[in-house]
Amino acid sequence: MGTRKLVDITQFIKQSFGLWKAQRSAHHLAFAHFEAVESRIKVSEITPDDSRVIELCRSNQIEPKRAIMPFQMTWEGHSDWDDGEVMEGSCILVPIPDKDRPNQGKLLRDQGYAEMIAAVGNYNITEDGTFILITEYKRAAAEEKIWFVNPNLRCRVSLIKTSNGTGVVTASFSSEIRSLKADSNF
Amino acid sequence: MGTRKLVDITQFIKQSFGLWKAQRSAHHLAFAHFEAVESRIKVSEITPDDSRVIELCRSNQIEPKRAIMPFQMTWEGHSDWDDGEVMEGSCILVPIPDKDRPNQGKLLRDQGYAEMIAAVGNYNITEDGTFILITEYKRAAAEEKIWFVNPNLRCRVSLIKTSNGTGVVTASFSSEIRSLKADSNF
């Protein structure tokens, strides 16, 4: 209590590498509806000289050498709203720390596959080690908080807001447990 | 981003007064089970000279004049695990700030009704305005994070851990929307 965990972006991303088994609940607030999603997530390192990293930096007019700890996220899951369909996707994420403050900056995301759109978010790591990411889209804004309870349990709260920031449409919570067994299919 | 919201315990509790409609999802991690709970919560002010406040302080060997902003929480809800049964309860909560640091201290809770046990938690308000409460019981520990997204939306993440703090048994998330119409039945 009261002690500060100084976590930097490099440490935070390193802690995220691996396979995770996620339970996610989405609360659709206007209808008081609950949605349950189970998924597997893989977070893996990619090298800063990977062509996809360089291209993503250039398409955002950012010097590729400012990128640190780029990574790839891949997921596969299903929702109780649509039992038959498997949701899957993958994207590249590239942190660009501010020059003067390493624990805040931009997070570039490529288009990936599965209906993702390219986006640039602003991240910030609070003094208690919570990673906060705010991403503005044309018609909506997303605010995420991610923190580690211990090295094998990560929590993530995501809010989808209207673009003017007033209304929250969906609030969702994901609890992610590190999966220790390697899964060759993933 | 990066600006600090200095929120004190008094402000935090005042923001909580009123009626709330809550959607809560509990993730029972060992079984990857989802539980959905809908409830109404009422948070109301009680005066520091209320006999229940004085008694609760005395039973914890604390000077009643150290109490600030005592309040009562009342709830009524139902879970999708047990559709027939209505869960309801009420308790008194009494913050006792540390003498030197007002944004951390103890939170006393009385036994209330509905299977509650009396408890003393340690609270802390982080620099970004998140209220963190850690309560240790004989065989378990609870860690809660509560924050306001806006004055009418509160989020709460609760973790139930084994008493040695290693394992997290349940992770739950509650999104709480301020209910604007008064409800005479509550």
- Residues A57, B66 contacting (CB under 8 angstroms): no
For B135-150, what is each residue's pLDDT tens digit? 998 889 999 999 999 9
**pLDDT tens-place values along chain A, 186 residues long:** 444 556 789 999 999 999 999 999 999 999 999 999 999 999 999 999 999 999 999 999 999 999 999 999 999 999 998 777 888 999 999 999 999 887 899 999 998 776 678 899 999 999 889 999 999 988 899 999 999 999 999 999 999 998 776 689 999 999 999 997 655 456
d(CA A131, CA A124): 6
User: What is the model's pLDDT at position A85?
Assistant: 80
* Domain assignment of residue A4, yes or no: no
Q: Measured between alpha carbons, how far is A97 from B2 in angstroms, rounded to an integer?
A: 13
How far apart CA B35 and CA B33 sit, in angstroms, is: 7
Q: How far is A32 from chain B (nearest CA, A)?
A: 7
**Residue B161: closest C-alpha in chain A:** A149
**Total count of domains within chain A:** 1
Residues near B99 by beta carbon (within 8 Å), at least 6 away in sequence: none
In the numeric block, the tokens 């624990």 are attached to A103
Residue B85: per-residue pLDDT: 80
Rounded distance between C-alpha atoms, residue A156 and residue A175, angstroms: 7
The answer to whether residue B182 is domain-embedded is: no
Q: Quick count: other Cβ atoms within 10 Å of Cβ B2?
A: 12
In what helix (H) or strand (E) does residue A26 lie, and over which residues does it extend?
A: strand A18-28
Per-residue pLDDT at A102? 74
* pLDDT, position B1: 41
Chain A touched by B25 (CB under 8 Å): yes
Q: How far apart are CA A168 and CA B92, in angstroms?
A: 30
Which pLDDT belongs to residue A1?
Answer: 41
B152 falls within a domain = yes
Cα separations in angstroms, B61 against B22, B52, B103: 34, 14, 21
Q: What is the pLDDT of residue A114?
A: 64
Q: Answer whether residue B130 shows pLDDT above 50.
A: yes
User: Would you tell me which residues 33-52 of chain B have a C-beta closer than 8 angstroms to some C-beta of chain A?
Assistant: 34, 36, 38
Boundaries of domain holding B36 = 9-177
Q: How does pLDDT run across B8-64, given as a tens digit for each residue?
A: 899 999 999 999 999 999 999 989 999 999 999 999 999 999 999 999 999 999 999
Q: How far apart are CA B153 and CA A139, in angstroms?
A: 20
| pLDDT the model gives residue B104 | 94
Report CB contact under 8 Å: B23, A21.
Answer: no
- The CATH number that applies at residue B25 is 2.40.128.20
In this predicted structure, what is the pLDDT of residue B182? 59
Sign of CA dihedral B61, B65, B71, B72: positive
Of B130, B149, B177, the CB nearest to A159: B149
Q: Is residue A3 part of a domain?
A: no
- Within 13 Å and on the Cβ side, how many CA atoms surround B157? 23
Is residue A26 domain-resident?
yes
With beta carbons less than 8 A apart as the criterion, state whether A128 and A5 touch: yes
Cα–Cα nearest to A68, from A108, A16, A100, A41:
A108
- For A155, list phi and psi in degrees, rounded to 5: -115, 150
Chain A residues with CB-CB distance to B23 below 8 A: 27, 29, 32, 34
- Does residue A108 sit within a domain? yes
Report yes or no for ipTM above 0.85: yes
Q: Give contacts of B143 with chain A, Cβ < 8 Å.
A: 149
Q: Which of B1, B23, B124 sits opposite A104 (nearest CB)?
A: B1
Question: Binning pLDDT at 50, 70 and 90, where does residue B7 land?
Answer: confident
User: Which of B32, B157, B168 lies nearest to residue A38, judging by beta carbons?
Assistant: B32
